[in-house]
Chains A and B, each alone.
Chain A
Amino acid sequence: MATLRSHLPLAAAGRSAPAGVAAVLALAMALAVTVAATPARAADDPTRRGFDADPTRFALSLDGGFSAETAAAADPGTWRAGALLELADGLMVLKQGTARDDLLGPRLALHLLGGWSFGRLELSAHLPVALWQQSDLSLLTSQGVTGPLADPIAATALGDLRLGAKLPLLDAAAWPVGLAVLGDLRLPTGDPKAFASDGFAFVPSLVATRPMGRLRLDGQLGYAFRGAGQYAQLVVRDGITWVAGASYDLPPAGRLTRWKAIGELAGGLPRGFDAGSDRTRSVLGLRAGLRAFLTPALSVELGGGAGLGETGYGHERWRVFLGLRFGGQAVQLRPDEDADHDGVPNAQDQCPTTPGRPELDGCPDSDGDEIPDPQDKCPDEPGPAEREGCPAPEGEPLVEIETERLSLKDAIHFDTNRDTIKRASFPVLDQVARLLVAHPELEHLRVEGHTDSQGSAAYNKDLSARRAASVVRYLVGKGVAAGRLAAVGYGFERPVATNATAIGRAKNRRVEFTRLAAGAPARSP
């Protein structure tokens, strides 16, 4: 480890330290970043302080990780508030030769977080408060140092208020990655002498997110514009900041239906950083933990972390944190606006804060079964409207007996806006043909095509007639007597449910087989 030199700025500055002590002090003093190899500059002021002992920050994003931001803005109208308690040790370390002493730490801090999303913009605020911090200047005072350098460090201090504004640029649903710009403005409300303030600072950054099923990867790269702070040799100044994080939605366990594991690596590199010098320090630390949703609006989180590398500024010894976040949706949406930008005005949008398809009343359909998610009892598995969007159950296993099952209504599907039967429906229709042959009591049948009321009456009638004719053609090709079947297209003339809702329309799109009045049960074999 480097030792101190007599020309160190402490001696040069020597504001209240007696001249005789300066050299001793110079030998005695170093922060975790021990000693500068470069000569002191005129601007140096080892007693200035003016930086926060903990360079990392909790994320401002409503749906972010612990320190990792995420690109997507939360649903418009969403607000969230959080309170976290964090205990961190080894935030700053004094070193003399082989002697090391924690200058600052442990520190118990309260973090108050709040945010609100409206339109595309997400606004947020963060106020850290050092409720209690332990400082130890004995390594200095035992050497006789007095004056500003050895001024006591307040045990309780307000931190810098942060205000954030995030604007998504790319939506991860449509692009390989989601991108957003985040502006993080830090106001000098904190106590610079208690290592609780960086002064006025602005940190613009670019946030990238890639969702991969249950996993979400978040990355952030920014630059912290700020004035320099200094204590003894350590200079803290403007530079790059970055975070890489991953969160994983854990499978439901017991009462926990929604919870996730979060892991993050955060770092920073000051301008002019020189790995061979200890005048500036990089920042590098890990955080990991769990966030569990007790209700859709209330989550609790617990985590810990540690700096990587030699303990000191930017590389805390360890940290643990525990917090609650509470959030909900603002209710007042303007009826004529379109909060989720899906083309369906709020007044008509059954899912006003989630983008969805206009034909599904603005609701999403995760499993693509044409039943909007809120009405779909099985939103992740496709299923027919008759079963409220749930798939047909598996056959009940019998010890010596195998079962297969078919139901006519389960599915005859057509290509969109065409009369061609989807290949997947062929096996069903093959079975239907066989069953019609096996059921001669259904002497004459009308094969009816029905649609919902989207589009013109003439178009739908023609389409449904052609679709019914396709089914008849197929069945005749599979051996059903042509004289038994008549194809009719009704368009949307005979709905079985309202066309005003998406689930009603899904019920209306159907093929029906109707026994004709003339087709009373046959008497002959």
Chain B
Amino acid sequence: MDGDETVVADLVTTACSGDRRAVARLLTLVERGGEPADAVAEATHPLAAGAQVVGITGAPGSGKSTLTDGLAASLAEAGRRPAVLAVDPSSPLTGGAILGDRVRMEAAATAGAFIRSMATRGHAGGLALAVPGMVRVLDACGFDPVLVETVGVGQVEVDVVSVADTAVVVVTAGWGDAVQANKAGLLEVADLFVVNKADRPGAHEARRDLELMLDLSEVTGQAVDRPAVMLTTATEGTGIDDLWSAIQAHHGRLVTEGRLVGRRTRRHRAEVRSRLEHLLTEAVEDRIADLPALPDGVPGTVARRLAAELLGE
């Protein structure tokens, strides 16, 4: 694929010089996967300077997009070069998607932030493959920080956010009580909580429930760094600056306590792992497609025998 490599090398040079069309083109190549995506990864890896990555997640309607808009807008106004990756779900039936995050991101767009919408494209961990590669492109092109916004409903979305430098989980008043807060899942990956729509009744109760849950985490010794719980009203811009200060404080602690390296190693491992899974899945699909008929026998035993063949044992 020498042709691809030349095209990609030219695109990367153009993108790094500030051409947003070339940046967008590279993101498309990564999102589509295959050999061009590998060529982009090879070309951008050495250029990535280690941009700060912030994950923002929460239930649909919690105000993630508006919060992300506020953060990106104020960062751009302060002279930073923020980029946003906004993820929305694909339809499992048709593969189509309505990506509506830009509707709430006018301030960031006006302030000059680079915003890219993407669909989960459903199948087999595609998001886990595409997001790290797209973050790498944005990083290589000089964007910093990179804000990754996802609906935190599936394991993959949680994984994507949990490998950010700072994972922000957004809830709203009335999202649940102290028992909900102690259920496993999304809340466990938070480095920071935001109770958004704080102008509505119940916001302080929501904060109290989260603090109670965090007290319990300290009792069981699970908490390394107790997450702050911030109150925001994103539509009014209230609390956005404090939220960014809290994100910076968390990032600062990661650096001074030597934990940032560990996080980024974890991110690297997670990416290698999802690429390996992807390669193995492809090999499995090819093998199954090549078989004229599946051998008779107990499914588990047949699978073991095929696995041994595939892995060359």
Q: Do A and B come from one complex?
A: no
Q: Which residues of B come within 8 Å of A, CB atoms?
A: none
Q: Which residues of A come within 8 Å of B, CB atoms?
A: none
